[in-house]
Structure 1
Amino acid sequence: MTRPDGAKEYRFFDHLGSSRAVLGINGFTYSDYAPFGGLLAGGTESRKGFIGKEKDRESDLRNHGVRLFDDEAGRFLSIDPLWEKYKLLTPYQYGANNPLMISDPDGMKLWLHKDDVKNPSPAFRKWYKEFKKAIKYLNSGKASGVLARLHKSKDVTYIRPTFSETRYEADKKTIYWSAEYGLRLSNGYTQTPALGLIHEGGHRALELEKTPEQMKELLEKSDNKFENKEEQQVYEKYENPAAVKLGEPLAPDHGGQIEETDGSDQRNPDMPVVTTVPLETLND
């Protein structure tokens, strides 16, 4: 880059976007950071250092746009505006308490970096291993049809890790899938994380099948059991048929709570399980 005085300097960044070294007319200057962004002894921080955020010299806080961040404590000073999407995490946390893999550049949403896919971290590898296990489990019951249709569609659908409940965000065309958390239904039974992947895939599939006007109409029509007609169709067309094939319990309504399981194809062992006919007797 060229400075206002015309001098050129070259900056070197790490996988999180933090400035780690600057080469200028006086040679190299280096910056080393603690996991949450505190400058380590001996380092010289550039104006925009840790993940490219400027540090206020008076308050000693970093401005992440929406919130101020204390890199010594590893915490924001105010509640996450999107705390409802990350209910399992403290609303003051930074990067799901995993700053080596995740950055939180605006104080709101978490971002997985491209380097974690090209050079996967242990956490991402674990998630991807569970994802493959979930697909194998769904295929074993011939229950992955909706995902196959999404895969073949000319319209792209993204699947990414999440650290809270599984969900679909239509504006991003993205299914955020948790490999650890299944759903404890309002009747006490539990469903696997894998079935949650089918449910959210159903939202995306329905979106591709319907016109925007039809989707708007479905979302606006209330339903006593499933909140609205769009949710009702997701259950009836996608989740329930898959649940029957897999021998999983049917949801009595749209209620329930996320619950940690022993794996993407497992239910909580402390919860009752519904058994149906053997998988080999079912047809696709």
Structure 2
Amino acid sequence: MIASSTLQCLFVALILFLHAVESNNPKSDQGSVGACSGVPGIPGTPGYNGLPGRDGLKGDDGMKGAKGDRGDKGATGKTGPKGSLGQRGSMGPIGIEGEKGIKGNLGERGEPGPRGENGTANSINWKQCVWSRYDTKDTGLIQECVFNKRNSSTALKVAYAATMRVYCSDSSSCCGRWYITFNGAECSGPVTIEGVVFMQYSKDNPHRHRQIEGFCENIPSGSIRVAVHVGNCQSYGSSDRGSGWNSVSRIMIEEYPQWQT
């Protein structure tokens, strides 16, 4: 049951509300109702959500997370345009020398060229080396003469003139061979340039002036060491030999055109 005091307050409030409605001023007598404490009314319908507020301040960076697994390889991209040529680098070190290749076959000999005109006397290339010395070597080098050959297609004429002797010290025969070399090798184009002195055993010991000479072809141009040597004859051993006794010895060298016949 509602208390009578409460009913009285509700009645008074209703009268005041109606009076306010008639006077079009619902708030005019709200203060008069303060003497009555009303019962809490029924909760009203919730209002609509308000508009979103402004973003707050940026927070501090969080801790670095653990490294994730490696992703799959992506597709190959398109080749980009060719870049400009860079600057040339410095020269690298010299590489190791390669092995010598196999010697090729000798090519066919070409046709003879036309014969040239005869040269003047001033164009002759020649030289002689002279010495006065008695060389008692039985074998070995006697004398060398350096010659500057102008052309690789020419031939050299070489002559050696000197006193040459051999002496047989026993009852057998003896022989000595004098020969010319070019840069340490005997001539092979076409044959060697040489001479021999042979003696049958006797008490004679002749010292005679002799000369050996010949042409040698296929010698390259440039500085050529022309030398005369003495040695053993084929099938004969060593014997007592002498070169240049009591006379002047000489090597004469001339450069000649190598004519084809």
The alignment's TM-score, normalised by the length of structure 1, stands at 0.15
Query: Could you say which structure has the larger radius of gyration?
Result: 2
Q: Which structure has greater strand proportion? A: 2
The alignment's TM-score, normalised by the length of structure 2, stands at 0.16
* RCO comparison, higher one (Cα < 8 Å, 6+): 2
